[in-house]
Amino acid sequence: MTTRVVVPAAMAALVFTLGCDTPAYRIRTHPEIYETLNPDVQEKVRRGLVMPGYSRDAVFLALGQPDRKYIRTTAEGRHEIWSYVGTYTTRDRQRVEGRFRVRDATGRYRTVRDTVWVDVDRVHEYERFRVEFGEDGRVVAFEQVHQER
């Protein structure tokens, strides 16, 4: 009985979470921005693609809010950089020596020294995508992580 309720609720939560961060969702919630783009740009934005010359609004619709924003100042002027971050998790097994309180065969508590192995999850962040805007607010460059498989 509990499984019947938990599984649909978990699936609904997953769909809601995934559905909120897609180009389709952003286009649905901001149609006034989407309609100002020309048809070629609209098609690429719908697929989550960014190209040089795109406006900040087009990049927002395609990729969402950036995780970080930087300002780069050079001799040519100021450029704004939007950074999108990804994460991955690794698991390390570590040996831990310590004192542990245990109950012995007679029912009494005592402290023993022992070694145990524990799994430690580490979350690593990496920059997966960067978009650079010129002074006119249009994309002048973008970079993405290249992963060879």
Please tell me the predicted confidence (pLDDT) of residue 20: 66
Residue range 25-37, pLDDT digits in tens? 999 999 999 999 9
Specify whether domain 2-87+124-144 bears CATH 3.30.2450: no
Looking up tokens 């970079």, which residue turns up?
Answer: 143
Q: Which of 9-18, 25-34, 106-115, 130-139 has the lowest mean pLDDT?
A: 9-18
Three-state SS for 40?
helix
Three-state SS for 20?
coil
Task: Give me the residue spans of the domains in the chain.
Answer: 2-87+124-144
Q: Which pair of structure tokens corresponds to residue 55?
A: 């406006």
Residue range 50-88, pLDDT digits in tens? 999 999 999 999 999 999 999 999 898 999 999 999 999
Residue 70 to residue 83: CA distance in whole angstroms: 8
Q: Indicate if the alpha-carbon torsion angle 105, 111, 116, 118 is positive or negative.
A: positive
Buried b (16+ CB within 10 A) or exposed e, 76-111: eeebbbbbbeeeeeeeeeeeeeeeeeeeeeeeeeee
Residue 114 to residue 100: CA distance in whole angstroms: 7
pLDDT of 9 higher than 80: no
Dihedral Cα 24, 128, 130, 44, nearest 10 deg:
-30
Contact 56, 40 (CB under 8 A): no
